[in-house]
Structure 1
Amino acid sequence: MTHPSKPLDTLDHTHDPALRSWVPGTAGHADFPIQNLPLGIFSPPQGTPRAGVAIGDSILDLPALLSANLLSGAAGAAAEAATGTGLNALLALGAAPRRALRAALSELLSEGCTERGRIAPLLHEAAACTLHLPAQIGDYTDFYVGIHHAENIGKQFRPDNPLLPNYKHVPIGYHGRASSIRPSGTPVRRPHGQSRAPDAAEPSFGPSQRLDLELELGVWIGPGNELGTPIPIGEAQDHIAGYCLLNDWSARDIQAWEYQPLGPFLAKNFASTISPWIVTPEALAPFRVPQAARPAGDPTPLPYLLDAADQRGGAFDISLDVLLMTPGLRAAGLAPHRISTSNTRHMYWTMAQMVAHHASGGCNLQPGDFLGTGTISGPGRDACGSLVEATLGGKEPIRLASGEERRFLEDGDEIILRARGVREGFATVGFGECRAVILGAVA
């Protein structure tokens, strides 16, 4: 180890499962109990975008809470940084003000709070509000740390050697684009691109025929680093402000033709969908687990990627679900079809290792930068985070209760991602949905 370990998030009174909120409908809420309190940007009906906190089926207006003089000290400073139309300034403050804000919000929203009468008018019905991107994203980087996904994809091209030689030595990633990242609920237009059919002599240009989803977790960067100054692995957690769900849509036919030699381009840059709430590291503290032990024979990470505290608790136990709603299921009044259930424990590298590697060459991360984990699949067919895996490249379609079948996504299909931390003795903490419907390509 080249750097001393720093302790990770610890449990405190805000995680108490017995804690109850006076806000109606909060107890036992699948995503947003008082133990969560994620941050985002919302617009109330006929209102302008502003910072908010999800609590049950409501959103608390953070600037209004500050204007009512209900926040002070470090918590007030954190809320003051969140008075714009993006949370970048709040993310930049780091963990201490964020924790102070969380503690103050927990107290104000708990049963027995004497200020309930002043706070209740500052709550908005979430279903009536519009949710936006929670921060202005300067840069986006997509990693490839889901080892089962990497193996599944590799087997389709290299059955005898699915993983390339560098995979277990370095967190693989590429720089994407931030301009087409959209919040949950924004439709996704089927992209055009150049591809070449296996039996064709020449490529053609047209709508993608093999449109796919990718189940990922998003990582929001908080405080950045100076250009030319790496982030030590033992300090990488200090630069993470929170997490969300990410569907990094992929046009597999376009990607197969264009990705060599420089990697994904038009196959990925047409859209990415995220859940709109930033779930803080503090809220996820109960779900931290040791990083999975590497199989015998796997290389030990190089010193700049290895930290004792990160190995003891740098991974998360968060369940991940992928659901598909089709026009046929909708017309028949049927529930969405569950494509898979996976878990963040299937990541070969930790979030801290991703951040440390990203900055190891001197790249300057900035508040609001966004990282994707890459597709997180589990070891079985029922845990695939993409259709190209679940259908073996389209060879074995998924059959639905409506009588439909899917090899890849069709127009009118909707993908819904969900994520929840569940642990006995603690309240369930969720991320909210990450969903989008596919629209037909532009004529």
Structure 2
Amino acid sequence: MTDATALDLPGDDLFGPDNLPYGLYTTADAPDHPRIGVRYGDHVLDAGAAAAAFGSPHTALLQQPLLNPLMAAGRPVWQAVRAGLREWLTAARHRDTAARHLRPLEEVSLRLPFEVADYVDFYASEHHATNVGRIFRPDGEPLTPNWKHLPIGYHGRAGTVVASGTPVVRPVGQRKPPAEAAPLFGPSQRLDIEAEVGFVVGAPSAHGEPVGQGSLRDHVFGVCLLNDWSARDIQAWEYVPLGPFLGKSFATSVSAWVTPLEALDSARTAPPARDAPLLPYLDDGPDTGHEPGGLDIRITVRLNGATVAEPPFSAMYWTAAQQLAHMTVNGASLRTGDLFASGTVSGPEPDQYGCFLELTAGKGPYLADGDEVTLSAWAPGPQGSRIGLGEVTGRIDPARAI
């Protein structure tokens, strides 16, 4: 039994009562029995067992072996469950009962917390898109003509989204160095990261019915950090004319913790000023009635323990609400477990670039076998607190023989 003092968190803990992110975990005595957990400090609450102990009407949802049923239940249920969790963990009369269902984090193994339905990756940072455009098109305009009129994105591979801590095997494929007359085949020589923020869809939508910006809170369950691993040499050879394929599809890492969207209310901020007119479905100007769509999330990128960049999510040109609206404006439906990612987060300064392509101006070095990359982040919370997003870590394993 965990001592009730585990519930006494310092005010600056990133995973306090204003956060309460959801995850999925197993224990050594039940490795095939995943449970929904809620992170509280350096412990995890067995949400299903606690719900049963407190007589919650949502016990069945919290006793499922993954988050999807809870995510599908919709915003009123999300709010009620979150309010219950907060009360169980903070009310003095519940201390002993809540403590019985806490486990130290080091005693559990974390899993991918939800089953991914579809995966979409956007390209929403003007700084990133401009930097990349200058690298690949040094004699032309860095941004394509459509970039400031719509959130550019592509559909990725949902089946290779993996939880933080999963090793990333160096991909193999075709690449064509400029000096070569024909493409070569073998392990990627320009393996890169992309520091991103992911948005996890809970409530689905009907096929044929667009989802407007104002409905973001009704459909997005939560937020997680995301690393869109990228093989730049494979990508450069394949992406014309249809875009990313094998250079991206080998792995995408996400945090083992999903922070409720509601936990980031204090991090809301206006996006950067835009210098191109937007069509009505994407317009989020002050006269539209939409809440500020930006989020003040401070990301840190570490390579083998050393900080290499600190990208600011508040600098993103396109917001999650605009991405959701654009993704569904043609009638495409949302499914529970859909994951859409922001695209690489980059700021205006060189130490704010979110990938090694930018950090090295395309010259490298890129990732070597054995390298480990960790993304971490926090956002402003209520009354001066800070909300932590779960880390995303991945280590590069050598390519497999074919």
| Range of TM-score over shorter length | over 0.9
* Aligned counterpart, 2:283: 306
- Are 2:50 and 1:62 equivalent residues in the alignment? no
C-alpha contact 2:297 2:312 (8 A) present in aligned 1? yes
2:201 corresponds to 1:221: yes
**CA distance 1:28–1:410, change in 2 (3 Å):** farther
Contact 2:9–2:16 (8 Å) recurs in 1: yes
1:263 Cα offset (Å): 0.6
Q: Residue 241 of structure 1: SS of its match in structure 2? A: strand
What displacement does 1:235 show?
A: 1.7
Report the residue type matching 1:132 in the other structure: R
Q: Distance in 2 between matches of 1:166 and 1:31?
A: 39
Matched residues, percent identical? 43
Task: Report the AA paired with residue 380 of structure 1.
Answer: E
Question: Which position in structure 2 is the counterpart of 1:4?
Answer: none
Matched, 1:427 2:396: no
Where in structure 1 do 4 or more consecutive aligned residues deviate above 4 Å?
Answer: 308-312
Q: Is the 8 A contact 2:7 2:99 kept in 1?
A: no
Match of 1:155 in 2: 134
Q: State the TM-score, normalized to the length of structure 1.
A: 0.86
Which residue does 2:34 correspond to in 1? Answer: 49
Give the distance between the partners of 2:147 and 2:315, measured in 1 at CA: 15
In 1, Cα distance between equivalents of 2:337 and 2:289: 23
CA–CA distance in 1 between the matches of 2:292 and 2:116?
A: 28
Within-5 A mapping of 1:3-22? none
Partner of 1:209, secondary structure, is coil
Residue number among 321, 331, 346 corresponding to 1:362 in the alignment: 331
CA distance in 1, matches of 2:380, 2:324: 26
Distance in 1 between residues matched to 2:310 and 2:8, nearest whole Å: 27
Q: Which aligned pairs between 1:236-385 and structure 2 lie closer than 5 A?
A: 236-294=216-274, 298-307=275-284, 308=286, 312-325=291-304, 336-385=305-354
**Amino acid across the alignment from 1:235:** S
The alpha carbon displacement at 1:71 in A equals 4.2
Task: State the Cα distance separating 1:204 from its structure 2 match.
Answer: 0.9
Deviation at 1:280, TM superposition (A): 0.7
Deviation string, structure 1 residues 133-178 (Cα, Å, up to 9, x no partner) = 1111111000110111101100012234000000000110110011
* 1:187 corresponds to which of 143, 167, 192: 167
Residues in 1 aligned to 2:310 and 2:243: alpha-carbon distance in whole angstroms: 28
For the 8 Å contact 1:31–1:432, the answer to whether it is kept is: no
The match for 2:376 is 418
Q: 1:310–1:26: structure 2 CA closer, same or farther, 3 Å change rule?
A: farther
Question: Using the alignment, how far apart are the partners of 1:81 and 1:357 within structure 2?
Answer: 31
Contact 1:144 1:150 in 2 (8 A): yes
SS for the counterpart of 1:442 is coil
1:25, distance to aligned residue in structure 2 (A): 6.1
What is residue 22 of structure 2 aligned with on the other side?
Answer: 39
Residues 38-187 of structure 1 aligned to structure 2 (within 5 Å): 38-47=21-30, 48-68=33-53, 70-72=54-56, 76-77=57-58, 79-110=59-90, 112-159=91-138, 160-187=140-167
Residue 114 of structure 1 and its aligned partner are, at CA, apart by: 1.2
TM-score (norm 2): 0.94
**Contact 1:230 1:361 (8 Å CA) reproduced:** yes
- Judged with a 3 Å threshold, the aligned counterparts in structure 2 of structure 1 residues 82 and 108 are, in CA distance, closer, same or farther, namely closer
Residue-by-residue CA offset, 1:299-323 (whole Å, 9 max, x unaligned): 2221011245775421111101100
Deviation of residue 58 (structure 1)?
Answer: 0.4
Q: 1:214 to 1:22 in 2, by over 3 A?
A: same
Q: Secondary structure at the match of 1:284?
A: helix
Runs of 5+ consecutive residues of structure 2 not aligned to the other structure: none
TM-aligned CA deviation for residue 352 of structure 1: 0.7
Residues matched between the structures, number: 393
Relative to 1, partners in 2 of residues 1:244 and 1:310: Cα closer, same or farther, differing over 3 Å? farther
Code of the residue aligned with 1:179 in structure 2: it is: G
**Aligned mates of 1:252, 1:321 — CA distance in 2:** 22
- Give the structure 2 partner of residue 206 of structure 1: 186
Shift of 1:35: 1.3
Alpha-carbon distance in 2 for matches of 1:256, 1:163: 17
Q: Distance in 2 between matches of 1:360 and 1:226?
A: 12
Give the equivalent residue in structure 2 for 1:26: 9
Deviation per residue, 1:340-374 (Å, 9 max, x gap): 00111111111011111101001111111100110
**Is the 8 Å Cα contact of residues 75 and 217 (structure 2) preserved in structure 1?**
no
- What per-residue deviation string (whole Å, max 9, x for no partner) do you get for residues 207-256 of structure 1? 00000000000000011111111112222332111100000000000000
